[in-house]
Amino acid sequence: MTEHTSEAKLWARLSRSFGKEAAAYAQHRPGYPVAALRWGLPSNAEHVLDLGAGTGKLTEGLLDLDLRVTAVEPDPAMLAELARRHPGVRALDGTAEGIPLGDAEVDSVLVGQAFHWFDMDRALTEIARVLKPGGTVVALWNHRDDSVPWVAELDTLARTSVARSWDPPEPFPPVHAEFGLFELETFPNGHRRTAETLLETFATHSKLLVAAEDEREATLARLRDFLANNPKTAEGEFTYPLTTRTLRATRR
């Protein structure tokens, strides 16, 4: 097996790892700042698509903005959790490369924490098809704010043998004939956690979901010890500092 083949297989395993922890993902993953959503949306947005919707973390924020949301997700367990949490949302089985919507059906396509899993050129072609002219495609990623020393140290302790750095689409920002230039903005975000619930959040990350059980348990033990002895996290609730990187482009 070539190194490229091995990496591709690991990438596929990581991308499909979340369904077995769908309920925990829904409970413990952070949402997205309203400022980032408003920046990404066109001013006349009414009907939007949450693509690669997972359990509906992004859907929740879009509903709070009084938008009509259609959600598309390929993992059946994640989709079932989304439907359970948001029973009024139209929730469909589908992928970024095969979106089960008609042409020019939505005002914006938003992608939370999933854009990097897509086959980019095929996905952007499909996204352009379902968008109205002047609509936007918006990709959001929550990242730890490792300008905070204790957050950076915690991240180092969380690494496993299957950890991979976040790889942006190539080229970055992506280029596609159906869209104008992509713009990038970063928004502050924060996730209210306790030491135990932050451990639960880390446990939903693909690098831990795919790791061998002994490595997973050893990693969580390291994190637990650090959080118990760090003055910022040892007692009660605290804000885990995040930033939300947001890409936006407009359909020509």
Based on its alpha-carbon atoms, the radius of gyration of the chain, rounded to whole angstroms, reads 18
Residue 107 three-state SS: strand
Check residue 162 and give its pLDDT: 76
In the numeric block, the tokens 């020019």 are attached to: 104
Residue 180 three-state SS: coil
Check residue 170 and give its pLDDT: 66
Cα 225 to Cα 154, 213, 216, distances in angstroms: 10, 18, 14
Say which DSSP state 89 is in. Answer: S
Of 110, 216, 117, which Cα lies nearest the Cα of 163?
216
Burial 181-210 (b: 16+ CB within 10 A, else e): ebeeeebebebebbbeebbbbbbbbbbbbb
- Token code pair at residue 132: 């109205």
Kindly list the structural domains of the chain, giving each domain's residue range(s) and its CATH number in brackets, ordered by start.
3-144+164-192+241-250 (3.40.50.150)
> Cα(117)–Cα(137) distance, rounded to whole angstroms?
15
Instruction: Please report which helix (H) or strand (E) contains residue 184, including its range.
Output: strand 183-193
The pairing of beta strand 47-51 with beta strand 106-112: parallel
> Cα(112)–Cα(57) distance, rounded to whole angstroms?
8
User: What is the pTM for the complete model shown?
Assistant: 0.89
As averages over each run of 10 residues, the pLDDT of the chain (252 residues) reads 48 54 92 98 98 97 98 96 97 98 98 94 97 98 96 95 64 90 97 98 90 94 98 97 98 97
Name the CA dihedral angle for 197, 114, 33, 22, rounded to a multiple of 10 degrees.
Answer: -30
